[in-house]
Amino acid sequence: MQYITVGKENSRDINLHYEDHGTGKPIVLIHGWPLNGGSWEKQESFLLDAGYRVISYDRRGFGESSKPTTGYDYDTFTDDLNTLINTLDLQDVSLIGFSMGTGEVTRYLGKYDSDRVEKAALLAPIPPYLLKTSDNPQGVDKSVFNGIMNAIKADRPAFLTQFFHDFYNLDVFEGKLVSKQAYQYNWNVATRASPTGTYECVKAWLTDFREDVKNINVPTLVLQGTADRILPIDSTGRRLPEAIKNCKYIEVENAPHCLIWTHADQINNELLEFLS
Per-position DSSP letters for 77-146, written without gaps between them: HHHHHHHHHHHTT--SEEEEEETTHHHHHHHHHHHS--TTEEEEEEES---SB-B-BTTBTTSB-HHHHH
Residues 260, 123 contacting (CB under 8 angstroms): yes
Active site residues: 99, 228, 257
Averaged over 142-150, what is the pLDDT?
Answer: 98
Check residue 48 and give left, alpha or beta (phi > 0: left; psi -120 to 50: alpha): alpha
3 pLDDT higher than 80 = yes
pLDDT of residue 114: 85
Residue 204, CB-side half-sphere exposure with 13 Å CA sphere: 25
The dihedral formed by the CA atoms of 222, 133, 200 and 2, expressed in degrees to the nearest 10: 20
Q: Could you tell me the domains of the chain? A: 2-275 (3.40.50.1820)
- The pTM for the full model equals 0.97
Percent of the chain predicted with pLDDT > 70: 100
Confidence of residue 183 (pLDDT cuts 50, 70, 90): very high
pLDDT digits (tens, 9 = 90+) for 66-110: 999 999 999 999 999 999 999 999 999 999 999 999 999 999 999
Omega of the bond leading into 241 within 30 degrees of 0 (cis): no
Contacts of 56 (CB under 8 A, 6+ apart): 18, 19, 28, 29, 30, 31, 37, 38, 40, 44
Question: Is there a contact between 271 and 221 (Cβ–Cβ < 8 Å)?
Answer: yes
- Tens of pLDDT, residue by residue over 185-234, are 999 999 999 999 999 999 999 999 999 999 999 999 999 999 999 999 99
Quote the CA–CA distance of 156 and 163 in Å, as a whole number: 10
